[in-house]
Amino acid sequence: MNLTCSESIVPLPPLDKTLCCVRVTPTLLALLAAGLAIGTTSCKKAAPAAPPPPIVQVMDVTATNVPLDAEIIGQLDSPQNVEIRARVEAFVQEMPFIEGTNVTTGNLLFRLDDGPYQQRLAAAKGSLAESEAALKKYQADVARLKPLAEKRAVPQQDLDNALASVDVGQAAVFSAKARVESAQLDLSYCEVRAPTNGLIGAKQVSIGELVGKGTPTLMATMSTLDPIWIYCNVSEVGLLNADDYARRTGKRVTDAPVSLILANGSLHPHKGRIVFIDRAVDIKTGTLRLRAEFPNPDQLLRPGMFGRMKLDLGVRPDSILVPQRAVTELQGKNFVWVIGSDNKAAQRPVKVGQQVGESLLILENLKASERIVVEGLQKLRDGVEVKPMTAAQMAEASAAQAAQQAEAKAAKEGETKHGKE
């Protein structure tokens, strides 16, 4: 008796009462039970096979010497930016300098109309002469009255009045001299000269323009460019870490050589040094202001440029570097997947340091000779068995698969061509 699920069961016609009865024996019952068991077993589906372990790319962790450095973005500035302003009210007559060139201390930059100030000086000198003449007269009176007063030939009050007149005359002379000096000073402001050596910028006024009316008018700005400064804002944690790295090599962060990386990625040819760290943390930003100084003999660097200051903090021996893609971050913590000797994956928290190229420095909880996953992280779960392969092994497998596909394609094209023939 063969009963399968694919066969349909056709009902038997009713038995004729005239037929004889079938005798049920133990042997017949056994055969019926065996047939039913065979039919029931053939209806069940086969259990699916277990999937193969996922393939992941791994690498062996090794220890190496890592150069320690820190990069901070900053902005360049001149050690001395001088604004050239008009200090008296006058019209601009001359501007004998060339914009964008170097000037030296004392060079004439602007000449203002000094006619009104010449007149004021002349008037002040005239007042001084009058005061000096009056003082001489008062002094002569005293010289004449003093011997007469001693002989009681004149009242003592006349002598006292003459002595008081001398004091008033001397005060008038002092005031007149002050007015002369003030007029001379105003007159000197009509010639605006360079207060220091440096590069002068664009003119902010034109010839014939009235300057100095009400407020000192900005006429030009000049800056010293050699050396040049860069200002950076560094977090307190960053500064503490940098100082800690430097102390491990027997140095201080202020002694570290400093390089300057310009906006186009090029490296400034001259090394610099840190010359200033601010006294306190800015409570608004949580950062400290830091300044470094660089030689700038060709004056290529200008105020306002941006750059990156790179501190060389020495070398950290026996350091662990892993590719950045092998580290996952979750809720502020970093993890790597470690493959044990039984080829099972385990997620492990690690402490991450600075970035070195495309790798991350691992500070804690990972040792040399361990295996970590660098590709296929999305396939992993804790305790899952995997098939680890190195990058070289995966490349070989990929090449072999490509070769097989090429052979199969060539064979299929050959069969197609043979069938057409």
- Transcribe 123-139 into DSSP letters: HHHHHHHHHHHHHHHHH
**159-194 confidence digits (pLDDT tens):** 888 889 888 889 999 999 999 999 999 999 999 999
CB-based contacts of 225: which residues, under 8 Å, 6+ apart? 78, 198, 199, 296, 299, 301, 302, 303
Mean pLDDT across the chain, nearest whole number? 82
Instruction: Tell me the mean pLDDT in the region 370-381.
Output: 86
Top-confidence residue, 158 or 171: 171
> Are residues 346 and 382 in contact, defined by beta-carbon separation less than 8 angstroms?
yes
**319-338 confidence digits (pLDDT tens):** 888 898 889 888 888 999 89
**Percent of the chain beyond pLDDT 70?**
85
pLDDT the model gives residue 381 = 85
**CA dist 96 → 99, 192, 205 (Å):** 10, 11, 13
| Beta bridge partners of residue 352, listed in sequence order | 362
> Are residues 242 and 309 in contact, defined by beta-carbon separation less than 8 angstroms?
no
pLDDT the model gives residue 408 = 75
**Pair of tokens at residue 201:** 């910028």
**CA dist 417 → 282, 300, 355, 414, 420 (Å):** 80, 71, 57, 5, 5
> Are residues 356 and 327 in contact, defined by beta-carbon separation less than 8 angstroms?
no
pLDDT band for position 8 (cuts 50, 70, 90): very low
Say whether pLDDT at 310 is over 70. yes
**Rounded Cα distance, 245 and 319, in Å:** 13
Say whether pLDDT at 357 is over 90. no
